[in-house]
Amino acid sequence: MALTILSTGNVLDRGTVANDNTGDTLRTAAQKINTNFETLDSAVTNQTWANASVTNSILRYDGTKFVATDGLLVDTNGNITISGTLSSDSATITGDIAVSGLVDGRDIAADGVTLDSATASNTPHAIVARDGSGNFLAGTITASLTGTATNATNVVINNDTSTDSTHYVHFGSATSGNDGVQVSDTNLTFNPSTGVLQVGGHTVATTDTALMDTELTNITAIKGIDQALTTTSDVAFNTVTDNQANVRELAVTAITSTPSTILSGSSGKYFSLRTDASVVNINAANFSAGDIVTIADTTGSQKTITFDTWSSGVRVAGVDSDYSGTSVTLAEYGVCTIIADSSDLAIVTGNVS
């Protein structure tokens, strides 16, 4: 809308050529000039604009006068602030845009990519949109994420041999499908720097031989082993022993007197009968089912082996089951083995009669 200052009736008529007496008279021209100034003064110096309370307001013409525009501000640095709706068929903006509120328009483009080109597929230089299920495809995403992923097919594995701190070994309760990762902060830990794997606070594997030797001396509760392991060479089964001797050898006990009784706790031992040992007693009270001893003569003379309190008797290998004796004779340099089949039945095999 044009200002009435420039309406046809207020334009000075200067005639066709100078001094042709066809233009406005001096009075008429002066009246038009005065009218234009009065109109301009009324439009520009109206009280609404002059008393505007918003700094950096932009003037706009409302058809009769100029008024302040509170929704459009321009500061001394040229920064523009718009409060309201910005409508434009085409606009190019260079620099950053800060928007507070809703931006409505799928034709808005960032770096040449419009909103309506958003896609859930893995497409370079495209705005990401979620599909109907809320999913989208992507390649490598670099970000600081919070929360958890319900399921993951792959994880990044780093080869760490230097971090000197306690790590927790991960394990799960399922062999397939999806399962939560579990750890135990006290029962299963590993230190990448020292190579120490601990179970229940005890080192069970390490690259430090001295440390492993120390740990082995503390292992005393292994069933069937009364002697504690003391070195890593023990673990290599060079000298593993039980309460009798090296498990690869028979524990040798020399008998030098008569009569002698095989005491309880002797299972697994080898008894060597010397010169003064002519009689050896096997008492059922000192044997349990499965106990076994070996007896040998080393003097070249026969020896007598007696049996007490075996209520079911003694069975000699190669002799019929009616044998009811309570003693057997061990041949010169003979060897025999006695097995407690039960707590009241003994079986003898070897060089006996």
Residue 119 or residue 310, greater confidence? 310
Contact 306, 326 (CB under 8 A): yes
Among 1-15, 258-272, 283-297, which stretch is predicted with the lowest mean pLDDT?
A: 1-15
Among 29-38, 260-269, 314-323, which stretch is predicted with the lowest mean pLDDT?
A: 314-323
Give the pLDDT of residue 247.
Answer: 67
pLDDT for 224 beyond 90 = no
Give buried/exposed letters for 176-207 (b at 16+ CB in 10 A, else e): eeeeeeeeeeeebbebbeeebebeeeebeebe
Mean pLDDT along residues 147-153: 71
pLDDT digits (tens, 9 = 90+) for 54-102: 677 777 777 766 677 777 788 888 788 877 777 766 777 777 777 776 6
Looking at the whole model, is its pTM more than 0.85? no
pLDDT for 335 beyond 70 = yes
Percent of the chain with pLDDT over 70: 74
Q: Kindly tell me the burial class for residue 236, based on how many C-beta atoms sit within 10 Å of its own C-beta (0-12, 13-18, 19 or more).
A: exposed
Give the pLDDT of residue 221.
Answer: 46
- pLDDT range class, residue 352, cuts 50, 70, 90: very high
Calculate the average pLDDT of the chain: 78
CATH code given to domain 251-350: 2.60.120
| CA distance to 94, 145, 179, 294, per residue, from 149 (Å) | 39, 10, 12, 67
- pLDDT range class, residue 1, cuts 50, 70, 90: very low
Type and span of the H or E element at 32 = helix 26-44
pLDDT for 47 beyond 70 = no
Residue 188 or residue 62, greater confidence? 188
- pLDDT range class, residue 110, cuts 50, 70, 90: low
Residue closest to 298 by CA, chosen among 337, 331, 265, 260: 331
- Delimiting residues of CATH 2.60.120 domain(s) in the chain: 251-350
Return all residues near 141 (Cβ < 8 A) that are at least 6 apart: none
Residue closest to 169 by CA, chosen among 155, 152, 154, 190: 190
Contact 277, 255 (CB under 8 A): yes
pLDDT digits (tens, 9 = 90+) for 237-279: 456 666 666 666 777 899 999 889 999 989 889 999 998 889 9
